[in-house]
Amino acid sequence: MIFIFDMLKGMVMGIANVIPGVSGGTMAVSMGIYDKLIGSITHLFKDLKKSIITLLPIGLGMVIGILALARVIEFMFERIPVQTNTFFIGLIAGGLPMIIKEVKGQKIKLSGIVGFLVFFVLVIGMAALDGASGNNAEFSKGITDIIKLFGAGIVAAATMVIPGVSGSMMLMLLGYYEPVISAVNEAVDGLRGVEGASFASALFVLIPFGIGVVIGIFAIAKLIEWLFSKFKLTVYWAIIGLISASPIAIIMMNSESFKSINALTVITAIIALAAGAVIAFFLGGDPEKKEKKEEN
């Protein structure tokens, strides 16, 4: 049961990491797995068995979410962008009360206020910069391109792990979003034997990028664990700032979709928002506690 819950949470994270403006780290926080995810990454070799038990279902879910559902989400954004965006806003908002519990009853210090404001502005600023970089990166399959892809993987991984910061949005700003997504889809098509798909060409992009992602995740996880150990309340207030700004950032980045709406769109968007919030609340619960409660 716990394995399935964690795999579902991983799927949500995987889908979120594909969508510019939506943070996989935020989803992890919203669903109550962020702390144990970071802990398992940083203590992988120290406590191998426990870390693998935690990371395996989440990682499996992320892979399924990225490979199997990326195109579905892409289709939804093309056909029902407002409802899709509000669904993800609901996922984000649904997890906020759980984070607020971490600082409830604690005295609000200046460092907490500064942390909240700085990271709130950071997310809004990143959304405002969306589209500022012009063209997508082009590759000539040389050593320079491999180094660039490796570096892009590190940057993407670091931002994917940080709550409220969209790794996909960073890739978009760097010009690597569409090439990487295209490579993922091309790799899937190559494995399926789709005519014209070049699996080898996709691997040229995905292997150095993937290595960078792995290194980036470990590096930023160590930093985040240290920050939590030294400045726990300040970090939580910073995360609250990131999460609070994320819905605004999503609307800013998809402002064109929200300009032409009708009554039906508003109603379905509200339903999508509520559905997202309910799912975040449901997945954010601790399945171990639920099972113990049922036993009693």
pLDDT digits (tens, 9 = 90+) for 90-140: 877 877 777 788 788 888 899 999 999 998 998 788 777 654 444 556 666
Tokens, residue 68: 């199997």
Q: Where are the domains of the chain?
A: 2-295
DSSP 71-139: HHHHHHHHH-HHHHHHHHHHHHHHHHHHHHHHHTTSPPPHHHHHHHHHHHHHHHHHHHTTT-S-SPP--
Please name the amino acid found at residue 228.
F
Average pLDDT over residues 8-22: 79
Q: Are 77 and 69 in contact (CB under 8 A)?
A: no
* Average pLDDT across the chain, whole number: 80
Residue 60 has a pLDDT of: 92
CB neighbour list of residue 64: distance below 8 Å, 6 or more residues apart: 7, 10, 11, 14
221, 42 in Cβ contact below 8 A?
A: yes
pLDDT in tens, 172-206: 666 777 788 888 888 888 777 766 667 788 888 88
pTM: 0.65
Cβ contacts of 104 within 8 Å, gap of 6 or more: none
135-164 pLDDT, tens digit each:
556 666 788 888 988 988 888 887 677 776
